[in-house]
Amino acid sequence: MDASQGGGAETVLRLAGITKRFGPLVANDAVSFELRRGEVIALLGENGAGKTTLMNILFGHYVADEGEVEAFGEKLPPGDPAAALAAGIGMVHQHFTLADQMSVLENIALGTQRMFAPRFDRTSARARIAKLSQDFGLHVKAEALVADLTVGERQRVEILKALYRDARILILDEPTAVLTPLETDALFATLEMLVARGLSIIFISHKLNEVMAVSDRVLVLRAGRLAGERATAETDRGELAALMVGEEIRTPQVVAHRAGEPVLEIEGVSAAGQGTGAALDRVSLTLSAGEITGLAGVSGNGQAALAALIAGTLVPASGQMRIRRETVSGWSPRAALAHRIGRIPEDRHAIGMIGDMNVTENVISESYRSPRFSRAGFLDWKAAREFAMSIIAAYDVKCPSPEARVRLLSGGNMQKLILGRALDGDPAVILANQPTRGLDVGAVAYVHSQLLAARERGAAILLISEDLDEVLALSDRIVVMSKGRLSPPSRRGELTVREIGELMAGHGVFDTGESHAA
Partner 1 sequence: MEAFEILFTTSLWVAAIRIASPLIFATMGELICERAGVLNLGIEGIMTVGAFAGWFAVYAGGDLWFGVIAAALAGAAFGLLHGVLTVPLGLSQHVTGIGITLLATSLTYFIYRIALPEVTSPPKIESFQPLAIPVLSDIPLVGPALFNQTPLTYLAYATVAIVAWVLYRTPAGLAVRAAGENPSSVEAQGISVTAVRVGAVMAGSALMAIGGAFLTMSAFNSFFFEMINGRGWICIALVVFGSWRPGKALVGAILFAAFDAYQVRLQQVTGGIVPYQVFLMLPYVLSILALIAVARRATYPKALMVPYQKGER
Which residues sit at the interface with partner 1, rule CB under 8 A?
Answer: 22, 56, 61-63, 79-86, 91, 93, 95, 97-102, 106-107, 109-120, 161
CB contact set of 298 (below 8 Å; sequence gap of 6+): 151, 178, 179, 180, 466, 482, 504, 505
In the complex, the smallest distance separating the C-beta of residue 95 from partner 1, rounded to whole angstroms, is 8
Residue 196: its H or E element: helix 181-196
Closest CA to 82 of 61, 51, 52, 66: 61
Tell me the closest approach of the beta carbon of residue 508 to partner 1, in angstroms. 34
**Between 81 and 442, whose beta carbon lies closer to partner 1?**
81
- The gap from C-alpha 78 to its chain's centroid, in whole angstroms, comes to 30
Q: Are 305 and 356 in contact (CB under 8 A)?
A: no
Question: Residue 161 CB, nearest distance to partner 1 (Å)?
Answer: 7
Give the nearest distance from C-beta 72 to partner 1 in angstroms. Answer: 17
Angle among Cα 45, 50, 56 to the nearest 5 degrees reads 120
Cβ distance to partner 1 smaller for residue 51 or 485? 51
CB of 57 to partner 1, least distance (A): 10
Q: Which is nearer to partner 1, 62 or 203 (CB)?
A: 62
Q: How far apart are CA 291 and CA 220, in angstroms?
A: 36
Nearer to partner 1, 157 or 431 (CB): 157
Nearer to partner 1, 102 or 189 (CB): 102
Please report how close the Cβ of residue 115 comes to partner 1 at its closest, in angstroms: 5
Nearest by Cα to 162 from 184, 186, 191, 188: 191
Distance CA 133, CA 510 (A): 31
- Min separation Cβ 345 and partner 1, Å: 23
Residue number with CB closer to partner 1 (161 or 477): 161
Q: How far apart are CA 517 and CA 485, in angstroms?
A: 10
* Strands 11-22 and 66-71, sheet pairing: antiparallel
Q: Min. distance of Cβ 70 from partner 1 in angstroms? A: 19
Nearer to partner 1, 31 or 271 (CB): 31
Residue 109 vs 344, nearer CB to partner 1: 109
**Alpha carbon distances (Å) from 451 to 36, 346, 506:** 44, 15, 29
Q: Which residues contact 404 (CB under 8 A, 6 or more apart)?
A: 358, 359
Strands, DSSP E only, in 348-456?
A: 374-375, 378-379, 429-433
Half-sphere exposure at residue 318, Cβ-oriented, CA atoms within 13 angstroms: 6
Q: Report the residue number, 96 or 387, with the smaller CB distance to partner 1.
A: 96
Alpha-carbon distance values, 329 to 288, 320, 332, 430, 458 (Å): 20, 9, 9, 20, 25
Between CA 221 and CA 75, with CA 53 as vertex, the angle to 5 degrees is 100
Least distance between partner 1 and beta carbon 192 (Å): 25
β-pairing, 460-464 with 429-433?
parallel
Which C-beta is closer to partner 1: that of 115 or that of 255?
115
Closest distance between partner 1 and the C-beta of residue 410, in Å? 15
